[in-house]
Amino acid sequence: MNSYPHPLIAREGWPFLAASGIAALAVTLSAGWLWASPLWVIFVFVLQFFRDPARPVAGDAKSVLAPADGRIVVIEPAHDPWLNRETLKISVFMNVFNVHSNRSPVDGTVVQRWYHPGKFVNADLDKASTENERNALHLRTTDGQDITCVQVAGLIARRILCYVEAGAPLVRGQRYGFIRFGSRVDLYLPRDVRVKVGVGDTVSATSTILAELP
């Protein structure tokens, strides 16, 4: 995973980009720009959706980084259903214009991974955390702190991609997954973390510090 290159366009988007580009070009050649213009709009949308820029890694080993680009929609005490414990939950909502690659919030190891099929309600709603399709990682930091990082599908998202399994080491900012077309990532953190963001804040994966571990 550390060796994954950072091209301008995520590998997950290459088939979509090729299909939309070929369709737009074919209509342009056969019918002209006017008829092809809606297809070029789709091509540009796909191009921006699957962009995957490299990011500077913020903070240090105590820092919990944003696992995704987006907007903070939840900061509240919550029960972690995966580890059956009381935590502080921070949720990042990604709209279709955000970068959708997901990155590790901490340095640590994947202790366990769970996948749960479900619905596809609007990921901006809190019930998405318990009703939607989701993939959860139990991460244990290098100093023994437990964090649960959950990818949640959205209203039009239909594919959660996760490339790590139990036992995999991760470093802050390491790319581990992707969610296509609108989604959310929930973090369940120890209750005594020092939160660095507020509800409504816009965050960037890897370069925004969400919280500091004790």
Closest CA to 88 of 72, 99, 103: 72
Q: For the chain, give the mean pLDDT.
A: 86
What pLDDT does residue 11 have?
78
- CA 70 from chain centre, in angstroms, equals 9
Which range has the worst mean pLDDT, 50-64, 98-112, 145-159, 195-209?
145-159
Which range has the worst mean pLDDT, 72-81, 123-132, 190-199?
123-132
pLDDT at residue 6 greater than cutoff 60? no
pLDDT tens digits, one per residue of 37-78: 989 998 888 887 788 888 889 999 999 999 999 999 999 999
Per-residue pLDDT band for 154 (boundaries 50, 70, 90) equals: low
Measure the CA–CA gap between 184 and 128, rounded to whole angstroms: 9
Per-residue pLDDT band for 1 (boundaries 50, 70, 90) equals: very low
pLDDT at residue 5 greater than cutoff 50? yes
pLDDT tens digits, one per residue of 103-130: 999 999 999 999 987 655 554 555 555 6
Q: Report pTM.
A: 0.82
Closest CA to 110 of 67, 64, 171, 152: 171
- CA 54 from chain centre, in angstroms, equals 14
* Residue 143 host element (H or E): none
8-state DSSP, 56: P
End-to-end CA distance of the chain: 28
Q: Assess contact for 159 and 15: CB atoms under 8 A.
A: no
pLDDT at residue 80 greater than cutoff 90? yes
Q: Assess contact for 46 and 16: CB atoms under 8 A.
A: yes
**DSSP bridge pairs for 86:** 79
Active-site positions read: 183
Share of the chain above pLDDT 90, in %: 55
Closest CA to 183 of 70, 104, 76: 70
Tokens of 192: 């005594």
CATH code 1.10.3720.10 for 63-212? no
Measure the CA–CA gap between 175 and 204, rounded to whole angstroms: 13
Write out the E strands in the chain.
Answer: 63-65, 70-80, 85-94, 101-103, 108-116, 134-141, 146-153, 160-162, 169-170, 175-179, 183-189, 194-195, 202-203, 209-212
Break the chain into its structural domains and give their ranges: 11-49, 63-212
**DSSP bridge pairs for 101:** 178
